[in-house]
Chain A
Amino acid sequence: MEDSTIVKLRDVSFKYDKEWVVKDVDLNIKAGQFLGLVGPNGSGKSTLIKLMLGLVKPGHGSIHLFNKPLRQYQDWQEIGFVSQKANSFNSGFPATVIEVVKTGLVSRIGAFKFFTKKHKEKAMDALRTVEMDEYAYSNIGELSGGQQQRVFIARALVSDPSLLILDEPTVGVDAKHVTDFYDLLGRLNKEQGITLLMVTHDIGTITDHATHVVCMNKTVHFHGASEEYKEFSEEDLNHLYGHAVQQLTHNHDHHEVNYSD
């Protein structure tokens, strides 16, 4: 029987050279959730995303996407991805917004087939969703960081994914636009029923918007509803991260334990 768990990680570990970056992670993401993945710098959040997307291979453990083992998984159009790198692309690249958004359809169209008018309309729809349609023919490099981020979300949305993964999407977006940005995510989640997984270090804001929170520092320290998380006092949090804090202090990186920066 198929259940509503669309991402399932069991006992997943990964190491760079000799150091474990992700260790023994179990994680379930259910359809319809808005999951915030939080943790300090270097806690393995981005690596965990890369593992899920098959961009790096786990040392051990198993990963299932939509009830299929990652190895056999082919329906990439079901998953939209907005990477951290999206805001560090070559800003001199000679392409228009609509050309960039259409690349989100490459997996859906398949090999030896061409972009058609229908694909252009789909791209315009996605741009309308993120309220960037009036910039369709602007050069991508001429937009502000926040506008570019919306374009990359449109690129991820254009293939009608049921899961959208965002890696630190608010980095480089000014505070005023961060609120708009969360509103957009909220709409996608509630109105279009898209499951969201968002990596962030901004724990204060994410708990106001996400339905569920996962805190990790190499291993998962907390996984539950946002409401549950908000009831924790600072002491509880310290306790929760106690082990992590100690570990970081040993690595003379105390300032990185400051979550609310």
Chain B
Amino acid sequence: MINNFFQYEFLQNAAITGVLIGIVAPLLGVFIVVRRLSLIADALSHITLTGIAASLLLEKKVTGINEWNPIYLGMAFSVVGAILIERLRKVYKHYEELAIPIILSGGIGTGVILISLAEGFNTDLFSYLFGSVTAVSRDSMWTVLMITSIVIVIVILFYKELFVLSFDEEHASVSGVNGRWIHLLFIVMVALVIASSMQVVGILLVSALMTLPVASAIRIAKSFKQTIGLSIAFGETSVLVGLISSYHLSVPPGGTIVVTAILILIMSILYKRVQAQQWMKGEA
């Protein structure tokens, strides 16, 4: 694989994109999980599919735009979806979680119609759903690099605000933190990272890369910083092991990445259990 890596551009694209999303997806995932917003990632990945479908349809029906990368329209839909979710959460104040199935089913419903109209049920679509080692273009790789850098800078700049908002919204407000703006900024970043991750992990499994590494880290970590560090380490391991095995086994990387993340999760649960038993023995 190492030789092939230097030989084939497509492998470089997939590997570099994978490494980048292996950092930012779990990084944002930590805040998503502790704020109990895990399902938002699912809703946004489905609305991203609508954007991809719309792009495929436009490519077919309108001449002159077949050079478009579907990832851009996917990102645009994801961001609009994120803003819509925030709106809907205000409309249904007492049933905030309703916003998620509305956007999720709306996204997939519109998406399936657009895909049919574009006669797009083919291998292309398969790679959007479950990821691909071959489909990442150099162009997309640069886009993902740019988004990753922006997200990392913003998280570092607003770390204390994001942390205080996640821990205690009321306290954040008394500390003069503008919760609404920070939250909007955050959800837009999530939308962009989901659209970026889609080509490698696939739409149906993006949310797993944001939540599974965090689910493992939370079992082990004592502090919030440690949770972030471990989540990124687990996410990165999942992506690398997943991509390599995907290449060798000729199966979609979405599957191998998620299975690796699940294995890490099982190990972290077992680790915690063994640790607790030892502690009990020590007490007795």
Interface residues of A (CB under 8 A from B): 53, 55, 74, 76, 79, 81, 83, 85-86, 89-90, 92-96, 99-100, 102-104, 106-107, 109, 111-112, 114-115, 137-139, 155
| B177–A89 CB distance below 8 A | no
* Cα–Cα distance between A112 and B157 once the two chains are bound (Å): 5
Closest to B228 in A: A94
C-alpha gap A55/B217 in the complex (Å):
34
Q: A114–B160 contact, CB under 8 A?
A: yes
Closest to B160 in A: A106
Task: Report yes or no: B174 in contact with A92, Cβ–Cβ below 8 A.
Answer: no
Q: How distant is the Cα of A25 from the Cα of B172 in the complex, in angstroms?
A: 27
78-101 of chain B: CB within 8 A of chain A: none
Greatest chain A CB density within 10 A among B164, B177, B217 is at B164
Contact flags B234-278 to A (C-beta < 8 A → 1, else 0): 000000000000000000000000000000000000000000000
Closest to A76 in B: B176
Complex CA–CA separation, A103 to B34 (angstroms): 16
The reply to whether B160 and A99 contact each other, CB–CB distance below 8 Å, is no
Closest to B177 in A: A106
CB of B63 within 8 A of chain A? no
| Contact indicator per residue, chain B 141-173, by CB within 8 Å of chain A (1) or not (0) | 000000000000000010111011011101111
B-side interface mostly: helix
Q: Does B227 contact A (CB under 8 A)?
A: yes
Q: Which residues of B contact A139 (CB under 8 A)?
A: 222-223
Q: Which of A86, A111, A137 contacts B223 (CB 8 A)?
A: A137
User: Is A94 touching B221 in the complex (CB atoms < 8 A)?
Assistant: yes
- B173/A55 in contact, CB under 8 A: yes
Taking CB atoms, residues of chain A closer than 8 Å to B173 are 55
- A219 to B265: give the CA distance in the assembly, Å: 55
- Chain B residues with Cβ under 8 A from A106's Cβ? 160-161, 164, 172, 175-177
User: In the complex, what's the smallest C-beta–C-beta distance from B216 to chain A, in angstroms?
Assistant: 12
List the B residue with the shortest CB-CB distance to A110: B176
A contact residues around B170 at 8 Å (CB): 55, 83, 85
Q: Would you call B174 and A55 a contact (CB within 8 A)?
A: yes
Picked from B159, B160, B164, B174, the residue with its CB within 8 Å of the CB of A53 is B174
29 residue pairs A–B, Cβ–Cβ below 8 Å? A55-B173, A76-B176, A79-B174, A81-B174, A83-B170, A85-B170, A86-B168, A93-B166, A94-B34, A94-B217, A94-B218, A94-B221, A94-B222, A94-B223, A94-B227, A96-B223, A99-B163, A99-B223, A103-B167, A103-B171, A103-B175, A107-B175, A114-B159, A114-B160, A115-B160, A137-B223, A138-B222, A139-B222, A139-B223
**Closest A residue to B231 using CB positions:** A94
Q: Which residue of A lies closest to B220 (CB)?
A: A94
Contact call B163/A103, Cβ cutoff below 8 A: yes
* Beta-carbon contact of B167 and A89 below 8 Å: yes
Residues of B within 8 A of A (CB): 34, 36, 157, 159-161, 163-164, 166-168, 170-177, 217-218, 221-227
Contact, CB under 8 Å: A137 / B222: yes
Residues in A whose Cβ lies below 8 Å from that of B160: 102-103, 106, 109, 114-115
Alpha-carbon separation in the docked complex, A259 to B258 (Å): 57
Cβ–Cβ contact B34 & A90, under 8 A: yes
> B217 contacts which chain A residues (CB < 8 A)?
94
**Given the complex of chains A and B, what is the CA–CA distance between A106 and B161 in angstroms?**
7
Residue among A99, A103, A112 with most chain B CB within 10 A: A103
Chain A residues, CB < 8 A from B167: 89, 93, 95, 100, 103
Interface pair A76/B174, CB less than 8 Å apart: yes
Contacts of A83 in B (CB 8 A): 170-171
In the complex, residue of chain B having the shortest beta-carbon distance to the beta carbon of A108:
B175
Q: How distant is the Cα of A114 from the Cα of B157 in the complex, in angstroms?
A: 8
Residues of A near B168 (CB, < 8 A) are 85-86, 89, 103
Most buried by B among A83, A89, A93, A104: A93
Whole-angstrom distance from the CB of A140 to the nearest CB of chain B?
Answer: 9
CA A129 – CA B175 in complex, angstroms?
21
Given contacts A90-B34, A94-B34, contact A107 B224 (CB under 8 A): no
CB pair B174–A94 under 8 Å, yes or no, is no
Interchain CA distance A86-B174 in the complex, whole Å: 13
Q: Is the CB of B163 within 8 A of A96?
A: no
Known: A99-B223, A107-B175. 6 other contacts (CB 8 A): A53-B174, A55-B174, A81-B174, A89-B168, A112-B157, A155-B171
CA A100 to CA B175, docked complex, whole Å = 13
**Which chain A residues lie closer than 8 Å to B226 at the CB level?**
94
B217 to chain A, nearest CB (A): 8
Q: Which of B172, B176, B218 contacts A92 (CB 8 A)?
A: B218
User: Which B residues lie within 8 Å of A74 (CB)?
Assistant: 176
* Best-surrounded residue of A74, A86, A95, A102 (most CB of chain B within 10 A): A95
Q: How far is the CA of A89 from the CA of B218 in the complex (A)?
A: 17
**In the complex, residue of chain A having the shortest beta-carbon distance to the beta carbon of B226:** A94
From B34, B164, B222, contact of A96 by CB (8 A): B222
